[in-house]
Chains A and B, each alone.
Chain A
Amino acid sequence: MFIINSPVEESIKLDNEIYLLKIHCPEIASVIKPGQFLNIRVSATMYPLLRRPFSVCDVDGEFIYLMFNIFGEGTKILSRKHKGDLIDILGPLGNGFKLDDDFETAVIVAGGLGAAPFPFFTKMLSDKKGIYSFVGGRSEHDVITYKMQNVQTSTDDGTKGFKGTVIQLLENNFDKIKNKKVKIFGCGPNAMLRALKEFAIKNNLNCEVSTECAMACGFGICQGCPIESTVHPEKYYLVCKDGPIFNVKDVVI
């Protein structure tokens, strides 16, 4: 784990109000794994006070990329960063996706900004495994397919791709994948993760999801981010330290 101030190389605005922040951070670029996250202090002022967790979207040499949309005060400040501005980073944090399991095909299921960790994930996996990506959103603007492979999309309102949820899209395409040795990797809103868990358990599929919870520190001392465990019901897991990636069987979403 590091606490470092790293300079912005470039702030890129994608066409659907999504920002990519390219940061020169060799310390983290060389060690981070897909699904791990960083806790970022967007300014040294008293408001916002706490760090904010971001998954690392991509890694390219000594550079890391963060993906975000403007959601609140913190992301508004981050969207105004320019080349040379220093970003106060704490990380890498959390466990990351398990990529060395026995599977041949990775099935990515992403909803909205839940797409954020998957460009890096895809880069790390594309030489070794087959990839199917199912990406959903409420509307066309919420569907993020940046640097993903073999993508099918869905929207709740039908403005892009299949009209319906991304889980329905996955079910419709299940014939294509059901005879392969697959592992599902999900990231998105809780409602999507709950439906994905149900689908994975019904079809007896290995499935990991990236979970979210409000947190302060990001490394276990504040105890602010509990998630109910099915393995140890007498205690909570912490999203920041035990996760954020969990096998769907191990947590109550």
Chain B
Amino acid sequence: MSKVDLSINMGSLKLRNPLLLASGTVGYGNEISEFTNLNNIGGIVTKSLSLKPRKGNPPQRIVETPAGMLNAIGLANVGVEVFLKEKIPFLKKFDVPLICNIAASSVEEYVECTRILTSEDFIKAFEINVSCPNVKEGGLQFGNDASMVGKITEKVKAVTNKPVIIKLSPNVSYISEFAKAVKDNGGDAVSAINTLVGTSFDIRTKKPKIHNINGGLSGPAIKPIALAKVLEINRKVKIPVIGIGGIMNWKDVIEFMIVGASAVQLGTLNFIDPSAGGKIISELEDYCIKLGINKISDLTASYII
């Protein structure tokens, strides 16, 4: 029996601890389960699922940058039907809250994916990836238009009783306006932040290092930005925040919680140390014991400014 209460309640979503594994960094759980006991993890978020399978971008998809990496995978995934048929059975072997991340190119597709997946009891919540091009509106990202983010939240909530988390893009001036749109339309929480748009060029060939030209920057390089965005949301909008961005150790988790995160997600770190999740949870517990913290959730938004 743990001496520290590590549990987190975000509305109807209850987690045994605040540590989730981020979408796109754990596939559908099978590979990472060789390194980390999923029964100890707060929750896992699937790779973005779309209505139909997506092949993704041609190589090169990844390049390392100082203290970070750029990726442009292109939402490669098996699609919702194959996920339900072939991927969920493996995950059901574990006692771990499963959050399905959904990507789409129209509002209707977000709704349809949610509608199909929500009947599966093992799925505990949805995380909506709004950093996708809106095909009907000329390819601009949904996540750059607060009214669109509000509309997606409302339409998705209408087809599921499960918690809906919107994963916000940091590539906006005021992320709190987007968090407000989520809250006003019935969203249960926001994840902040998705990757930052970046690029990298080869100075010899003068060509971009990744095929898509732009990629999403992740890793410790983005942590200060992510912390600032979480803090901004916390100070402007009353909505639970799942902090994401460059977490490398337990201290980073504490820092995200202090600035307002109720829970966090590990992303890039899973590529470097796929066993990190389990280790960080026990280190968080040690920290709480040492500081006499009985409930880890007391740390959320405990900043002193």
Which of B94-102, B156-164, B254-262, B270-278 lies at the interface? B270-278
> Is B282 engaged at the interface, CB distance under 8 Å to the other chain?
no
| Interface size class, chain A | 20 to 34
> Is B59 engaged at the interface, CB distance under 8 Å to the other chain?
yes
Q: Among the interface residues A215, A234, A236, which one has the most CB atoms of the partner chain B within 10 A?
A: A236
What residues of chain B lie closer than 8 Å to A120, measured between beta carbons?
none
Given contacts A47-B66, A48-B64, A226-B76, contact A221 B56 (CB under 8 A): no
* CB–CB A213/B60 < 8 A: yes
- Within the complex, which residue of B61, B66, B268 is in contact with A223, where a contact is CB–CB below 8 Å? B61
Given contacts A49-B67, A234-B55, contact A221 B61 (CB under 8 A): no
- Within the complex, which residue of B25, B55, B57, B67 is in contact with A221, where a contact is CB–CB below 8 Å? B25
* Interchain nearest-CB distance for B165 vs A (Å): 21
- Within the complex, which residue of B34, B47, B62, B270 is in contact with A224, where a contact is CB–CB below 8 Å? B62
* Interchain nearest-CB distance for B299 vs A (Å): 24
Given contacts A48-B64, A214-B63, contact A219 B31 (CB under 8 A): yes
* CB–CB B69/A228 < 8 A: no
Interface string of A41-54 (1 = CB under 8 A from B): 10000111111000
> Is A161 engaged at the interface, CB distance under 8 Å to the other chain?
no
* CB–CB A221/B71 < 8 A: no
> Is A216 engaged at the interface, CB distance under 8 Å to the other chain?
yes
* CB–CB A214/B275 < 8 A: no
* Interchain nearest-CB distance for B85 vs A (Å): 16
* CB–CB B272/A49 < 8 A: yes
Given contacts A221-B271, A223-B73, contact A214 B62 (CB under 8 A): yes
* CB–CB B271/A222 < 8 A: yes
Chain B residue with Cβ nearest A215: B62
Within 8 A of B (CB), among A200-238: 213-217, 219-228, 234-236
> Is A177 engaged at the interface, CB distance under 8 Å to the other chain?
no
Chain B residue with Cβ nearest A232: B55
- Within the complex, which residue of A49, A221, A226, A234 is in contact with B69, where a contact is CB–CB below 8 Å? A49
> Is B35 engaged at the interface, CB distance under 8 Å to the other chain?
yes
- Within the complex, which residue of A90, A220, A226 is in contact with B58, where a contact is CB–CB below 8 Å? A226
* Interchain nearest-CB distance for A31 vs B (Å): 14
* Interchain nearest-CB distance for B49 vs A (Å): 13
What residues of chain A lie closer than 8 Å to B221, measured between beta carbons?
46
What residues of chain A lie closer than 8 Å to B71, measured between beta carbons?
216, 222, 224
* CB–CB B61/A234 < 8 A: no
What residues of chain A lie closer than 8 Å to B73, measured between beta carbons?
222-224
Chain B residue with Cβ nearest A224: B62
* CB–CB A220/B219 < 8 A: no
* CB–CB A1/B35 < 8 A: yes
* CB–CB A50/B76 < 8 A: no
* CB–CB B272/A221 < 8 A: no
In Å, the complex CA distance between A3 and B34 comes to: 11
Chain A residue with Cβ nearest B211: A226
Which residues from chain B sit less than 8 Å from chain A, CB to CB?
24-27, 31-32, 34-35, 47, 53, 55-64, 66-69, 71, 73, 76, 219-221, 248, 268, 270-275
A/B interface sample: 21 pairs, CB < 8 A: A1-B34, A1-B35, A3-B273, A3-B274, A49-B67, A49-B220, A50-B69, A51-B272, A213-B59, A214-B64, A215-B62, A216-B62, A217-B271, A221-B31, A221-B270, A221-B271, A222-B24, A222-B73, A224-B73, A225-B61, A236-B55
Q: Given A216-B62, A234-B55, 5 other A-B contacts at CB below 8 A? A: A46-B67, A49-B220, A221-B26, A226-B56, A241-B31
